[in-house]
Structures are given as C-alpha cells and as structure tokens.
Amino acid sequence: MAVDGDDAGAAVARQRLALMLQNLRKQARNKDGTPITIEQAAQHMERARPTAHRIINGLPGVRVKDHDVKSLAELFGADDETTATMLALAAATRVKGWFSRFRDVLPPGFDMYIGLEAAAQSVWAYEGERVHGLLQTEEYAREILRISASDGPKAADAEFERRVAVRMRRQEILTRSDNPVDFTVVLGEAVLHRTIGGPAVMARQLQQINERGALSNVSVRVVPFSLGAHYGIDTGPFAVITFPEQGGPATAYMDNFTGHLLTHKPSDIVRFEAAAAAINRSALNETASRNLINQRAKELSSAQ
C-alpha cells in the first residue's frame, strides 16, 4: 500500500482495527449479561470517553497507544492472536503518510480520506457540479480552491500553494506503477458547461479528463441533461471506496459545506452502492461520454 515511500495504509489500518474492536465489543458481555458500554471501555483504558469512542470507531484525531489496545483486548476477551494482530494494526496507524504534513491546510479529517483513497483498490465517485479532484488540472484546481479561500480571510500565498500541491499529488494514485487505483467517475453534464477559469482553462480541463479516461484503470461517464431527473441530484457528490483483500471494509465518503462523512457501516454501504448503481444506469457509456466531453472542449476552444 506504500506510495512513493510513504505509508498510505495508516487510515486503512485504523479502520481495520476499529472493525475488530467493534466486533469484539458486540460479542463481549458484563457478568450480568449486559453489553459493555463506551464509558466502561474508557474507564478500563484510563482514557476520556470521547477518546475511547474515537479509537473504537476508527475516527481520526487520537493516537492509538499499545496500552489502549491491550486494555480493550482484555476487556473484550480477545485471544492472544487477535491481540497481536490489533497491536500490529495500532502500530500501522501511527505511521505518517506524505499528506500528514499538510494537515494544517486540510479540512478536519480529510487527511484520513486521502489515506483511504491512496490505499484503495477502487474508487467510484459522482460529481454533479465540478470536476473530481483526481482529474483536475492545476489551473482548474486553483480556481476551485479560490472559492473557499474567498469566503473568509484570504489564505496566505504559501498556504494556498500547499493546498494546490495536495490536490495535484493525490492524482499520482492513478498513474503510479505499483497497483494504480481503479477509478470510475460519473459527472453531471453541468460540470462540462460550468466554465471555470475561462474558456481556455476549461477546454484544457476537458481535454485532460479525456486523456485520463483513456487510461486502462480510469473510466469517465457523463449523465446528460437530456435524461432529466436522476438519482445523483438527490444524493449530491459522494464516493465509494473498496480495498484489496484484508484491506478493510468498503467505505463511503461525502463532503459538503459543513464537513466530511466517512462510513463503513454495512447498512450505509448498501445504500451508497445502490445509489451508485442507479447513477451508473443513468450515465452514457464511456464512448458517448468521451464524445460529449470532446464536443464541449471544441466549443470552448473556438470561443477563445
């Protein structure tokens, strides 16, 4: 799972550890037969309740110590082999990926998503209003990132450049020589007509989408205006991420103005996968999508 020498699996390790802890907790019981509460877990770990909650649920923002794992393993009745596996996973969560040094300029928790994305086997995504970050040109990315920067005090130049750098480096997962991620993205046709940065910038952006779409591990499809209403209008942008065997459960991701949602709850995944299937049925095939994107790029080029 390593990318350019950095461990991109820390976020996945956190999820796998959380899944093991949750399964153990479901099976564990107090002497009177009642379930073990988060409060009991926190007391046994000698940690605050919010910290115990974050560790057991695989949430970022807390360093998982060996003592935490050993305490929970004892409380939940884990055997030696399971405890050893969890300790190894805890150690993996403490490895810093390249994205960790950009945490100060990223939305809270987004570094965990980048780790999951980099360690993924496949990413399926829907975007109805903008080009997905994994396909953006640097020019287009700058225009998109300036939108949020203009909401509050203008970001310092160095900070802004670091945000751009993160977006560009994320894209390496598509072209790396070692296990590139299988990426499928469905775009609403509005993405093609929203001229970000002017006709020249947008034309180059659309050309890059088709160039990336020509890669064997990338599939780009478009939901046309002519379809009318479709499921993506209701869901908004989201992604479903899957991992290699033993890499952890499938994860769904949504982002909006107020924050980010990451979930691997099975019932949530079923709903997201059903939504993805519905959106896929609404989209043009790859060839028709490529032709539509190319047509729009030509219109923009001729308008310059």
Mean pLDDT of the chain: 88
Domains of the chain: total: 2
Residue 35: DSSP 8-state: B
Average pLDDT over residues 71-82: 94
Q: H or E stretch including 140?
A: helix 138-149
Do 86 and 234 lie in a common domain?
no
Rounded-to-integer distance, Cα 251 and Cα 272, Å: 9
Q: In whole angstroms, what is the distance from residue 84 CA to residue 219 CA?
A: 40
pLDDT in tens, 23-33: 999 999 999 99
Q: Is the pLDDT of residue 85 over 50?
A: yes
Domain that holds residue 38: 2-93
Q: What is the pLDDT at residue 1?
A: 36
Q: Which of 39-43, 206-210, 262-266 has the lowest mean pLDDT?
A: 262-266
Are residues 112 and 259 part of one domain?
A: yes
Give the separation between CA 250 and CA 220, rounded to whole angstroms.
Answer: 21
The reply to whether 131 and 220 lie within a common domain is yes
| Helix segments in the chain, DSSP class H | 10-27, 38-45, 49-56, 66-76, 80-93, 110-119, 138-149, 157-170, 190-193, 199-213, 231-235, 266-282, 286-302
Q: Are 10 and 80 within one domain? A: yes
Final residue belonging to a domain, choices 41, 58, 93 = 93
Statement to judge: residues 24 and 163 lie in one domain:
no
| Pair (281, 140) in one structural domain | yes
Q: How far apart are CA 291 and CA 269, in angstroms?
A: 32
Q: Report whether pLDDT(227) > 80.
A: yes
The domain boundary, picked from 64, 93, 122, lies at 93
- Do 121 and 250 lie in one domain? The reply is yes
Are both 123 and 29 inside the same structural domain?
A: no
Per-residue model confidence as pLDDT tens digits over 261-304: 878 788 899 999 999 999 999 999 999 999 999 999 999 999 77
* Range scoring the smallest mean pLDDT among 86-90, 180-184, 194-198: 86-90
In this structure, are 57 and 184 located in the same domain?
A: no
* Residue 66 shares a structural domain with residue 28: yes
SS (H, E, C) 175-243: CCCCCCCEEEEEEECHHHHCCCCCHHHHHHHHHHHHHHHCCCCEEEEEECHHHCCCHHHHHCCEEEEEC
pLDDT given at position 71: 96
pLDDT > 90: what percent of the chain? 62
* 132 & 259 share domain: yes
Residue 83: strand, helix, or coil: helix
CATH (domain of 59) = 1.10.260.40
- What CATH code is carried by the domain that includes residue 102? 3.30.870.10
CA distance linking residue 130 with residue 127, whole number of Å:
6
222 and 114 in a common domain: yes
